[in-house]
Structure 1
């Protein structure tokens, strides 16, 4: 009886463990449902509050706090949905392991199994409901965020397009003057009121000392760092012909030393002031605004000086005419100052509550007019030349007039090459200079927005172009230094490096495009909520049936594939160069092992990439099975060659380095791939032979098992020669050749009697087939020389040709009938004793 019950013991143990697990998990599952219902109720309340705030234009709620609550809710709902989906998948897997329930005609199912099945079905239904409810909450939150983003865009457009009084009437200017005087009075009295507030609050000198200490410490740290940057990466006065990448690095070091470091010190001081709470009221607002304006002024001016390099011509990275560098720097300095002052006035007036319509209209008109004049001056064609090289050459010549003339009259090719940058610069200049007309009509915000965004877009584009050019040059230098490691050496080094730079630069362009796109969107006022939603949708992807294709998964899959291929290539090279040469395998076996490892690595990388992409392998197997028929018919030759290539790598009837003859092609095997085999002939031409031909056609392999080959030298000697002497001479010629093997020993064979000669053959073996033609040629030379010294004659065939025309009626009249005889012949027939020829 026990023997009969023993086979059911594993099933009973499984049922017992499952029942215990369900018993233990039941209270947790029962408690989980109310907890989820409570959380869903809270999430619905968050959605309701956000919807109410949106309907009221956020008059009673802070916009950022509402968006923060929605993001937290979406994140929590997504986590709950993923957890429920994972549990649902586990429950469905357990149900699948139980199999299908018995049919109507089948015996009834075991009670415990039926109870277990029912419990699993209830769990699956509960988890599915939980996932659905969490998904609905998540979708409602995302929809609300989209509506908030649309509201922000609409509010931004309305604010930009809002029209103020046209500053063409004297009344507007008078009202602006009164408002400006009131603002100035507030600004002048702000420091005194701030100091009185600080005295009343009991500001300690320790706080002020901390601010001063931070400023002093920042200067003490920044100054040595500045000197180190300029000394290590700055411009070298002795280098008169630096590369573009070196110039850009020097400009970057100059910008960091003279622009970024001062801004960092100033930002540290402002942060300490904000942390201490010392700057309050209107004076605090003015301090932070002026500090930001000063930081922007220093940053822009420092970067401009670094790019223009007014004192070192060879290190310039912008195509500026050398005679106008001083004027251009002055224009940039004035433009930056105007923008800084305008922003300071606007921010101070707006946040202090003194911004009136008249004051705003006049300030925008004045600032946009000044920006239009200065920006039009900066973008004038007289400042710019064809290229950086032209700027340097004009400076090196030292002839300002000639350089100006040459730059103003560029050749036709140069005009055509720079037509599109000139057109873009001219269009930007026209729009910037026409913007004050909008301000004059009352659209000051729109005018200022257009001017500032176009100038900012120009700066972003210039930085992007400079970084791209520098990255391309650095990539070219990198691949030129590492060309052997990347397999780019040889006669095609330049072309291979160019291709490698192109594709690596293409990847860098894609990586550079993403932050540029985000910067441009932020610059043109796209709300951060909209950008976040677009990014989420882009990363989340689109659903195609049960498969979701997202950019994040695609990037991850491409990264896994490229990394896998790179590691496979490294492993194959390490195996070929470091491991296999130290084994007893021949070169063909080593190539087969390395190729097999490469194919295995590529296949593994593809599988991992597909798995990272989220493709279900079961569906992939179904698709592969459906396509197998089409592959069998449409790609029959490809599949046949692929299978033959695998057989060649496994059976190795031929291998790399073998000397083979197939289909009239003779040469050395250079490479065996999965589709074809490359044979290099002795004429140094490559013959690509399909692998199926190497399997189905006869192949002569001179080096299949070993590299020993037999050399046959046929020899003919005249009748009457000493045959023993001939054989000995042939043996001696073979023995004296150092490439001829002693075992098996060379042999001289007397094959028979020919028409006019005695036929011999010298047969010997050599150890390396690569020496086949050389040994055969050496033996021919040796035999010819030995026969000459021994007086052995090698005859050549002789034939007597008689030409007859029609019937023979005897000799013509007047001639004798005696037959002609060869020279030196005597007698008239065989009896004369003539030896046969």
Structure 2
């Protein structure tokens, strides 16, 4: 079988270099250029993010997590781009024939998995830099863990590649069973060796093993794989071996990403990153704003991890790309639960439409106030009333359009509106009274911003009129928030309602004589 495979590959190489040499060279150079642009550009832009700095003696946990995650993801993406683009351009230039194309696709998958496993174990264990190590194991055991994990990935990868070769060449079933049997036995032995390894050193100098649950899990998986192979269940044994390598790599990478996102979301976590320090130096962001931005970044990282790694896990467990695509399309376009349809695309569209409407309203408010009314010498109080009215109307309109764009039928909110009306009638009377009073104040304008008014025991200058309350600044520089209903239902004196002139009565004492 090996002789037949060698003849097939050598005949294709002879054909490619004799008749398609320029196409092979162009395809290879193009793929290398794409990978180089991604890798070199990533190193220049995000070098500090995914490269461990040997000069740092005590890096933070967030820095170690970030380096481990990105130093696995970015180089793997670069290698993946090179491999996928190579296959694509070979097909584009008609370099591949049927059987060689199948062999090359299988080889690409093997190289990608082995490279990713090797990068992940090196990033998490860092045999050369103990201070950047995520798991506090000793240097010697760390090197052995990297070797054993890489060897396990190589065994599984070579076995899968040879299974594709045997299937394409119509090899005997006995050869396939024998090859898979040897591969599963090797993987089982490696798992047992990893479980029995003693990676920790106690203060007294003795070596300590893994935690009990981890040690027993690794040994149990190894024994199960060997036992199933010896009992003749080769398919089950090879499936378990494959999932240990592939699914384990995906889950560990995703878990490191989740830990990084959680560390960024903690108070002060984002500010301690290189990007946070750059923003703190080159912008006006305060610590609270950086913390809020860290929460946004954390949510974005979690969402990216779910969108990237969940389909990969489903594919490794036998789901077809069409099934995943159908589920994604159904989730995006509408998921029906009872009589309610939830559409992720619709919700995102509604949010985007509302944000656009909100910013358009704010822009129109500024343009109307600063360009139109300011040039027209409109009174300050009138300008404030018009600006507030336009703002409330614009935000309300943007909310209605956003709800409609999200696919929510407004007629379905009738029951909710009725319940809210009942609640407003009983429990929110004061709020509604103040709201309506605010609208009356903005419309009638018995006083405006800048007027000197007297309301009961409060005397001062009006600073702001909103729909719920009015802000008054007394002559002692105290800000008083007065509900609008008090200003409508009670007498209010306005010293500057018509003009700035006023009369003050001064009592003068006169002697009787």
**Alpha carbons 1:254, 1:306 under 8 Å: kept:** yes
1:542 has 2:345 as partner:
no
Question: Which one of 546, 561, 583 corresponds to residue 354 of structure 2?
Answer: 561
> C-alpha distance in 2, partners of 1:533/1:376?
40
**Alpha carbons 1:229, 1:253 under 8 Å: kept:** no
TM-score by length of 1: 0.48
- 1:341-490 correspondence to structure 2 within 5 Å: 341-354=158-171, 356=173, 359-375=175-191, 429=218, 432-436=221-225, 437-453=227-243, 454-465=247-258, 468-469=261-262, 472=265
- 1:12-411 correspondence to structure 2 within 5 Å: 186-193=1-8, 195=10, 205-216=18-29, 218-219=31-32, 226=39, 229-234=42-47, 235=51, 259-275=76-92, 278-280=95-97, 285-306=102-123, 308-312=125-129, 316=132, 318-321=134-137, 323=139, 324-354=141-171, 356=173, 359-375=175-191
**Alpha carbons 1:480, 1:497 under 8 Å: kept:** no
Determine helix, strand or coil for the equivalent of 1:689: strand
Task: Determine which structure has greater relative contact order: mean sequence separation of CA pairs < 8 Å that are 6+ residues apart, divided by chain length.
Answer: 2
**Alpha carbons 2:118, 2:149 under 8 Å: kept:** yes
> C-alpha distance in 1, partners of 2:186/2:364?
64
Structure (1 or 2) with the larger CA radius of gyration: 1
- 1:552-701 correspondence to structure 2 within 5 Å: 552-568=345-361, 591-615=384-408, 631-632=424-425, 635-655=428-448, 660-665=453-458, 671-678=464-471, 688-701=481-494
Post-superposition shift, 1:643?
1.0
Aligned to 1:809: none
**Alpha carbons 2:335, 2:341 under 8 Å: kept:** yes
TM-score by length of 2: 0.73
Aligned to 1:752: 510
> C-alpha distance in 2, partners of 1:684/1:430?
75
> C-alpha distance in 2, partners of 1:301/1:197?
31
Determine helix, strand or coil for the equivalent of 1:752: coil
**Alpha carbons 1:656, 1:671 under 8 Å: kept:** yes
Post-superposition shift, 1:617?
5.7
> C-alpha distance in 2, partners of 1:480/1:606?
36
Post-superposition shift, 1:635?
3.9
**Alpha carbons 2:448, 2:462 under 8 Å: kept:** yes
- Which consecutive unaligned segments of at least 5 residues does structure 2 have? none
**Alpha carbons 2:257, 2:302 under 8 Å: kept:** no
Aligned residues: 499
RMSD of aligned residue pairs (Cα, Å): 5.1
**Alpha carbons 2:12, 2:100 under 8 Å: kept:** no
**Alpha carbons 1:364, 1:444 under 8 Å: kept:** yes
Residues 1:433 and 1:260: Cα distance change in structure 2 (over 3 Å): same
**1:500-528 per-position Cα deviation (integer Å, ceiling 9, x unaligned):** 64466446645653444433333332333
Residues 1:582 and 1:516: Cα distance change in structure 2 (over 3 Å): farther
> C-alpha distance in 1, partners of 2:276/2:447?
35
**1:197-237 per-position Cα deviation (integer Å, ceiling 9, x unaligned):** 887xx767230343144335655775687556445532466
Post-superposition shift, 1:328?
3.0
Post-superposition shift, 1:641?
1.7
Post-superposition shift, 1:461?
2.4
Aligned to 1:102: none
